[in-house]
Chain A
Amino acid sequence: MTPVMLERLLAATRAGRPVVLATRLADGAQYLLPEDAAEAGPALAEAAAAALAADQPALQEGWFLHPHNPPLRLFIVGAVHIAQAMLPMAAALGYAVTVIDPRRAFATAERLPGVAIRHDWPDEALAELAPDARSAVVTLTHDPKIDDPALVAALNSPAFYVGALGSTRTHAKRLARLREAGLSEAALARIHAPVGLDIKAVTAPEIALSIMAEIVATRRGSGLARRG
């Protein structure tokens, strides 16, 4: 790899631009796609686009196609202790985290180092942030005024994971409110609640671990992520 190619690849990933590094395994020749599509030709450019869409490397006629998508995104609603515990785990797992909490006293840079913080209401914040199929949304405030609008916004998005903290009883009440707000049963069934894999978590870091584990299980298609 030439230093110029490495710098181009790093610049694209820093800018959040999805790119594919195409490497000919016979001699190490490389293209960065789609930027070099004219030189690489349509067949390679199309295969590269497919690798990006699938978010999976591919081999095509002696070329290794290595997709570099922007980071997965995790939107945490509620700057609570569990959110703090989730931050280092989420970073290690490759998620860019945004914490949304209109309560300014909670959502401070001191409590949440190194992540994006939003103080607007979750429905407004999520409308702007536009969760996509590579996004997860977790609500942690226990406050329906904050959590409910976030869940409505999340369920109206293609987010691959939507989780809500709260006991089974709390969740039953939540479902009743959201039904009243007009959400379909199919939409409500997407909510992972009580949030997290059942590892009998007690402390904030343990709950954070159970939530992150459930997010990974959902993304990777594990049976553990299914709710009965």
Chain B
Amino acid sequence: MAAQGGEDVLALAAQWRAAGEEVAIATVVETWGSSPRPAGSRFAVSASGRMAGSVSGGCIEGAVAEAAQQTMRTGAPQLLEFGISDEQAWAVGLACGGKVKVFVEKLG
């Protein structure tokens, strides 16, 4: 299961929420080229900034965490796309040459 994103991430997300925190979950849903994490990889974020799992080799987690905070506030899911042609992705450093789509949803 670890290869598929890990239930540990989901179990942690459930624990954080049970402890009274807002939580959002990000999932890689599509990849092209040499993206470092396969579809199904998960990354959970809490309102206080706790993080678990990953959706890349560490290059886009910052941007995804920001989007996750927004999704926690609005409740609306987001479909993010990062790639080498994407200014923002360059800014956050997806230099591996791949492209990745990440779905961000609120747990709630």
CB-based contact B79/A25 at 8 Å: yes
Residues of B within 8 A of A25 (CB): 29, 77, 79, 103
CB-based contact B4/A3 at 8 Å: no
Instruction: From B1, B13, B27, give the contact of A13 (CB < 8 A).
Output: B1
Please report the C-alpha to C-alpha distance between residue A41 and residue B29 in the assembled complex, in whole angstroms: 22
CB-based contact A68/B29 at 8 Å: no
CB-based contact B103/A69 at 8 Å: no
CB-based contact A28/B4 at 8 Å: no
Residues of A within 8 A of B39 (CB): 56-57
CB-based contact A93/B2 at 8 Å: yes
CB-based contact B77/A13 at 8 Å: no
CB-based contact A69/B10 at 8 Å: no
Chain B residues with a Cβ under 8 A of chain A: 1-7, 10-11, 13-14, 17, 25, 27, 29-30, 38-40, 77, 79, 103, 105-108
Please report the C-alpha to C-alpha distance between residue A69 and residue B6 in the assembled complex, in whole angstroms: 11
A6 in the interface (beta carbon within 8 A):
yes
Number of interface residues of A (CB under 8 A): 27
Closest to A29 in B: B77
Chain A, 1-21, CB within 8 A of any chain B CB:
1-3, 6-7, 9-10, 13
Closest to B106 in A: A1
Known: A57-B39, A66-B5. Is A3-B107 also a contact (CB below 8 A)? yes
CB-based contact A9/B1 at 8 Å: no
Min CB–CB distance B23 → chain A (angstroms): 9
Chain A, 150-183, CB within 8 A of any chain B CB:
none
Residues of A within 8 A of B38 (CB): 57
Please report the C-alpha to C-alpha distance between residue A6 and residue B18 in the assembled complex, in whole angstroms: 12
CB-based contact A3/B17 at 8 Å: yes
Known: A6-B13, A28-B77, A66-B27. Is A92-B2 also a contact (CB below 8 A)? yes
Please report the C-alpha to C-alpha distance between residue A158 and residue B5 in the assembled complex, in whole angstroms: 26
Binary contact readout A39-57 vs B (1 if CB under 8 angstroms, 0 otherwise): 0000000000000000111
Known: A6-B107, A10-B7, A59-B29. Is A71-B1 also a contact (CB below 8 A)? yes
CB-based contact B7/A68 at 8 Å: yes
A131 in the interface (beta carbon within 8 A):
no
CB-based contact A10/B14 at 8 Å: yes
Please report the C-alpha to C-alpha distance between residue A64 and residue B41 in the assembled complex, in whole angstroms: 13
Closest to B40 in A: A57
Min CB–CB distance A12 → chain B (angstroms): 10
A122 in the interface (beta carbon within 8 A):
no
Closest to B5 in A: A66
Closest to A13 in B: B7
CB-based contact A6/B14 at 8 Å: yes
